[in-house]
Structure 1
Amino acid sequence: MSSTPPADDTLDLHLPEDFLALFGNAGPVGTDHAGTDHAGTGAAPAGQDLLDRVADWGPAPTPAGVFHLVPVRVERDVPLVARWMNDPAVAAYWELTGPQSVTEDHVRAQLTGDGRSVPCVGVLDGVPMSYWEIYRADLDPLARYCPVRPHDTGIHLLIGADADRGQGIGTTLIRTVTGLVLDGRPACTRVLAEPDVRNTPSVAAFLGAGFRFAAEVDLPAKRAALLVRERTAPESP
Structure 2
Amino acid sequence: MSTFSHRDDRLGAFTLRPLDADADAPLLHRWVTHPKAAFWLMGDADVAGVAEAYRLIAAHPHHAAYLGSWRGRPAFLAERYDPARVELVGLYDPEPGDVGMHFLCAPTDTPAHGFTHAVLTTIMAWLFADPATRRVVVEPDVRNTAVHALNAAVGFTVVGEIRKPEKDALLSVCTRERFRKAIEGDQRA
Between 221-230 and 94-103, report the one with greater CA deviation. 94-103
The alignment status of 1:212 with 2:157, answered yes or no, reads yes
> Corresponding residue for 1:130?
76
What residue ranges of structure 2 are gaps of 5+ in the alignment?
none
Cα gap change, 1:151 to 1:164, in 2 (>3 Å): farther
> Corresponding residue for 2:51?
104
Provide the identity percentage.
Answer: 26
Return the alpha-carbon distance in structure 1 between the equivalents of residues 63 and 110 of structure 2.
25
Return the alpha-carbon distance in structure 1 between the equivalents of residues 41 and 87 of structure 2.
18
CA displacement 1:131-170 (0-9 Å, x = unmatched): 1111112322403111111231111111112346683321
1:1-237 equivalent positions in 2, closer than 5 A: 57-62=3-8, 63-90=10-37, 92-96=38-42, 97-114=44-61, 116-163=62-109, 167-183=113-129, 185-233=130-178, 234-236=181-183, 237=186
Contact kept in structure 2, 1:131 and 1:158, CA below 8 Å: yes
CA RMSD of aligned residues (A): 1.9
> Corresponding residue for 1:9?
none
Contact kept in structure 2, 1:155 and 1:192, CA below 8 Å: yes
Q: Which has the higher contact order (CA 8 A, sep 6+)?
A: 1
Return the alpha-carbon distance in structure 1 between the equivalents of residues 113 and 170 of structure 2.
22
Matched residue of 2:182: which SS?
coil
Matched residue of 1:59: which SS?
strand
CA displacement 1:22-75 (0-9 Å, x = unmatched): xxxxxxxxxxxxxxxxxxxxxxxxxxxxxxxxx874211113221111111133
* Count of matched residue pairs: 180
Contact kept in structure 2, 1:137 and 1:151, CA below 8 Å: no
Cα gap change, 1:57 to 1:235, in 2 (>3 Å): farther
Alignment TM-score, normalising by the size of structure 2: 0.87
What residue ranges of structure 1 are gaps of 5+ in the alignment?
1-54
Return the alpha-carbon distance in structure 2 between the equivalents of residues 166 and 199 of structure 1.
20
CA displacement 1:151-208 (0-9 Å, x = unmatched): 311111111123466833212221221111111x212210111110111111111111
Between 76-85 and 134-143, report the one with greater CA deviation. 134-143
Matched residue of 1:198: which SS?
coil
Return the alpha-carbon distance in structure 2 between the equivalents of residues 166 and 195 of structure 1.
23
Contact kept in structure 1, 2:63 and 2:80, CA below 8 Å: yes
Q: Choose 1 or 2 for highest CA Rg.
A: 1
Going by fraction, where is strand more abundant, 1 or 2? 2
Return the alpha-carbon distance in structure 1 between the equivalents of residues 71 and 112 of structure 2.
19
Q: Tell me the CA shift for residue 80 of structure 1.
A: 0.3
Matched residue of 1:162: which SS?
coil
Alignment TM-score, normalising by the size of structure 1: 0.70
